[in-house]
Structure 1
Amino acid sequence: MAFGDFVVDTRPLRVAAYRRLWWGQAVSHIGVAVTVVAVSQQVWDLTRSSFWVGMLGLANLIPLVVFGLWGGAVADAMDRRKLLIVGCVVAWASTLLLVAQALLGLGNVYVLLVAVALGAAGFAISSSTRGAIIPRLLVPEYVPAANALNSLVFSIGAVFGPMIGGVVLATGGFASAYAIDAVLFSASLYAALRLPTLEPLGSVVRPGARAVWEGLRFITGSPVLLMSFVVDIIAMVFALPRALFPELVAERFGGSMIALGWLTSAMAIGSVVGAVFSGWVGTIRRQGVALVVVIAVWGLAVAAAGMAHELWLVVTFMAVGGMADVVSSVWRQSILQLHAPDEMRGRMQGVFMVVVAGGPRLGDLRAGATATAFGLTGSWVGGGLACALAVLLVGLAVPAFRNYRSGGRE
């Protein structure tokens, strides 16, 4: 393979509507990442407890599950452009609430949890809808490349957002950090407003419990789709150490906000590298086994990071984990989008979003709770090792997933 075959495929950017969505996410995700750092640090400052930082995961999780599944069902029954705009407005409102509480100096952890929950609801609606929109804008050949490009912008935001957040928190405070998010998020709303009308195709099912159940039944009837979700849940719940970052910074790096920014950006740095050089990803045929391998690598990298005491070494190991994670994400999203017919894509993306966004929140809760019981190192290193072992045992135990080849049938 030539060097160019390893570089990310940019052909989807030739489509104007997708290009605007991509740029909107690139800009707005920087602000979102700033808020992730700021709200975690504000909760830590108020409580001095990793448990309460982990509770941010629960505040995210419940709206993600409810509105992700509901939003996906609605996306199969109405104009997806309109629904995307609604989701963006709700998410924007949550950021404005964070700005207001910081300016008023409320210092109330419950207000923060409510604001985070509102943002999660907006994110759930918009993410499941956006994922269902992309296959409508692009030919199937471009879909894996679009997913790699999406991963790239999310990763770039996750690199620069926390670094910006660390600097802003050190110089301007929480209100300034949240205000940056509020301004940058307008890019996503603009991209949604410029989309063409996207009325549903095929048979339309009234959104509700029946529609959600049909989507879940479609997934459970496909071992490959089901296992692609299971291995991702294992990766995030067992190994994600995000809720432990403030405590690690306080214990090992003197409470430095710059160190917090680097630590929060570390995984995304690896994701950027992995996404930029993702041209080879589409050439892998045995994607079931490959997913198991890269998730095991992620778990081992996290465990190694938890044993390191130098900041550069922690960042390096988390970056290796980020490279493995972005490759996994591209494969899982492409499998899902190309397996489902258009009239099911909203519901499929709703479940995907619940797993992808909800798994890390459960991981936050797990990390905070186990740190309280077993200490920082026990929670961090033990989680990474448990992830690697569990994904090898579970992922290789299902023949349909173990033998799955891209482009083939189950």
Structure 2
Amino acid sequence: MPRLRRDHFIDLRPFAASPAFARMWIGSTLAGLGGQLTIVAVMLHMYELTGSTFAVAMIAVAGLVPMILAGLYGGMLADAFDRRRVALIAASVTFASTLLLAVLAWGQFETVWWLYVLSVVNSSANSIVMAARQSIVPRLVPRELLPAASALNGITVGIMVMAGPALAGVLVAFAGYAWTYSIDVVLMTSLFLGLWTLPAIHPEGEIVRPGLESLRDGWRFLTRGSNIRLQFLLDIVAMTFGQPIALFPAIGAVLLGGGPITTGLLTASIAAGAFVSSVFSGPVGRVRRQGLGIERAILVYGGAIALFGVALGAGALGWFAPDVVDVDHANVVVLVLAMIALALAGAADNVSSIFRNTMVLAAVPDSVRGRLQGLFIVVVAGGPRVGAFYAGTLATFTALWFPPLLGGFVIVGLVAFLVRLSPRFRAYDALHPEP
């Protein structure tokens, strides 16, 4: 077996090149870990209160329109004002909503509607934080290190989504919802440290005040930028038809068993794949044809999601199942197979994300970067919400294994068709980035 060379591993030079980026990365990673605790806990909390997969899926759907509006407006703010200040104000709203969630849980005043409302506020404010924070990165890191910085963000996602859901499952099972939300409150304070120590970062070039003209200006740029536009569309396809997370509580409760622990393990598997692919992302940073890389990564993602559906189908048929499948007894063999498929999906999605994020950061001018980053966040965060609606609704009328199986095949077919229509996207050269 050939030995791995040092350049196979993740490139850490962005930390040395920019201590400010390093501080922001640490703060974002810790805060993201806490955020995942709350996301998974709210899903489990909703399922406990309602017993409905559809109600869990509606958490994502309810916040879709507010999150889109917040992401778009946050991008406009980031292109008009100090991006550091925009991120700090939005982070304060996220902190307050999480704190209120913890207070309600400690007082046992939580209701279905409180979970919906606070989830919407939290996700909307977080969209603004992410839009402002990501538009800061090219001002801190040299352009040749942007792929490495994007890969480091993959490490962040891997840590927070791998450790967060698994830890959330354990905390909910053994300590309860109030403690889980409270730990998120503590971890969120690190986000302020990472942002507070940044210098003021005002947008460069012509400034367009937030409003309809700002939106029109950003839209005009997007209509000219066919590469950016297509990568947004490809991600929407992948996330709409290949995001089965809303099914995980029901899978743990009625299909594979294991309850909250299974929910955490399935979610963590996606992040484990993202984490490992980031650790060995050295070669990814040297790829010049990033459009072709996006296409191939998403095709692998679709295939992995279809394999996840196959594994669930085996569980539904009772393959490898113990005599009793319930909260305390899981179908371990099928669970492991499902986790492997999700890990492969997480790795493929992370490679696609590295290419997509680098393309946005390198090819979009600073004067419009906040708005395009806001739209990027809307696509990245909004796609899974549409996907939750697709998976939750279709599973309600069919079976838990059917949405990922069908969705995987849809992803492969649509992505191959759309990219074939755009030779310019396949020919995209990272050394000469063109939107």
Q: Structure 2 length normalisation: TM-score?
A: 0.92
Q: Does 1:264 align with 2:261?
A: no
Residues 338-375 of structure 1: CA deviation (Å, up to 9, x unaligned):
11111111111111111011111111111111111222
1:288-327 alignment runs, 5 A limit = 288-308=291-311, 309=315, 310-327=334-351
Amino acid of the residue matched to residue 139 of structure 2? R
How far off its partner does 1:126 sit?
0.5
How far off its partner does 1:152 sit?
0.7
Amino acid of the residue matched to residue 174 of structure 2? T
> Could you say if the C-alpha distance between residues 126 and 409 of structure 1 is closer, same or farther in structure 2, counting changes exceeding 3 Å?
closer
User: 8 Å contact 2:238–2:302 — kept in the other structure?
Assistant: yes
How far off its partner does 1:2 sit?
6.4
- Cα distance in 1 for residues equivalent to 2:379 and 2:337: 30
Residues 216-240 of structure 1: CA deviation (Å, up to 9, x unaligned):
2211211111001011001100111
- Cα distance in 2 for residues equivalent to 1:208 and 1:356: 23
Q: Does 1:211 align with 2:208?
A: no
Q: Does 1:108 align with 2:132?
A: no
Amino acid of the residue matched to residue 387 of structure 1? I
Residues 80-122 of structure 1: CA deviation (Å, up to 9, x unaligned):
1111101110111121121122122234211111001110121
Q: Does 1:339 align with 2:373?
A: no
User: 8 Å contact 1:25–1:154 — kept in the other structure?
Assistant: no
User: 8 Å contact 1:17–1:137 — kept in the other structure?
Assistant: yes
User: 8 Å contact 1:78–1:199 — kept in the other structure?
Assistant: yes
Determine the structure 1 residue equivalent to 2:8. 6
User: 8 Å contact 1:90–1:121 — kept in the other structure?
Assistant: no
- Cα distance in 2 for residues equivalent to 1:405 and 1:2: 27
Determine the structure 1 residue equivalent to 2:188. 185
Q: Does 1:23 align with 2:47?
A: no
Amino acid of the residue matched to residue 57 of structure 1? A
Determine the structure 2 residue equivalent to 1:407. 431
How far off its partner does 1:59 sit?
2.5
Amino acid of the residue matched to residue 342 of structure 1? D
How far off its partner does 1:266 sit?
0.7
- Cα distance in 2 for residues equivalent to 1:151 and 1:348: 20
Determine the structure 2 residue equivalent to 1:127. 130
Determine the structure 1 residue equivalent to 2:227. 224
Q: Does 1:361 align with 2:363?
A: no
Determine the structure 1 residue equivalent to 2:79. 76
Residues 198-232 of structure 1: CA deviation (Å, up to 9, x unaligned):
12221111111211221122112111110010110
> Could you say if the C-alpha distance between residues 129 and 99 of structure 1 is closer, same or farther in structure 2, counting changes exceeding 3 Å?
same
Deviation larger for 282-291 or 135-144: 282-291
Amino acid of the residue matched to residue 12 of structure 2? T
1:204 is paired with a residue whose SS is coil
Amino acid of the residue matched to residue 381 of structure 2? A
User: 8 Å contact 2:293–2:355 — kept in the other structure?
Assistant: no
Q: Does 1:176 align with 2:179?
A: yes
User: 8 Å contact 2:359–2:433 — kept in the other structure?
Assistant: no
2:282 is paired with a residue whose SS is coil
- Cα distance in 2 for residues equivalent to 1:373 and 1:258: 26
User: 8 Å contact 1:292–1:396 — kept in the other structure?
Assistant: no
2:398 is paired with a residue whose SS is helix
Residues 287-332 of structure 1: CA deviation (Å, up to 9, x unaligned):
2222111111111111111221311111111001111010000100
User: 8 Å contact 2:169–2:264 — kept in the other structure?
Assistant: yes
How far off its partner does 1:390 sit?
1.3
- Cα distance in 1 for residues equivalent to 2:398 and 2:431: 45
Determine the structure 1 residue equivalent to 2:327. none
User: 8 Å contact 1:18–1:137 — kept in the other structure?
Assistant: yes
> Could you say if the C-alpha distance between residues 287 and 229 of structure 1 is closer, same or farther in structure 2, counting changes exceeding 3 Å?
same
How far off its partner does 1:73 sit?
0.7
How far off its partner does 1:381 sit?
1.2
Residue identity (%): 39
Amino acid of the residue matched to residue 348 of structure 1? L
1:116-155 alignment runs, 5 A limit = 116-155=119-158
Q: 395, 398, 412: which is aligned to 1:374?
A: 398
- In structure 1, list runs of 5 or more residues that go unmatched: none
Amino acid of the residue matched to residue 348 of structure 2? A
Q: Does 1:348 align with 2:351?
A: no
- Cα distance in 2 for residues equivalent to 1:161 and 1:120: 17
How far off its partner does 1:124 sit?
1.0
Amino acid of the residue matched to residue 372 of structure 2? M
How far off its partner does 1:255 sit?
4.2
- Cα distance in 1 for residues equivalent to 2:53 and 2:380: 22
RMSD across aligned positions (CA): 1.4
- Cα distance in 2 for residues equivalent to 1:71 and 1:17: 22
Determine the structure 1 residue equivalent to 2:282. 279
Q: Structure 1 length normalisation: TM-score?
A: 0.97
How far off its partner does 1:387 sit?
1.3
- Cα distance in 2 for residues equivalent to 1:107 and 1:81: 33
> Could you say if the C-alpha distance between residues 409 and 183 of structure 1 is closer, same or farther in structure 2, counting changes exceeding 3 Å?
closer
1:207 is paired with a residue whose SS is coil
User: 8 Å contact 1:289–1:401 — kept in the other structure?
Assistant: yes
Determine the structure 2 residue equivalent to 1:167. 170
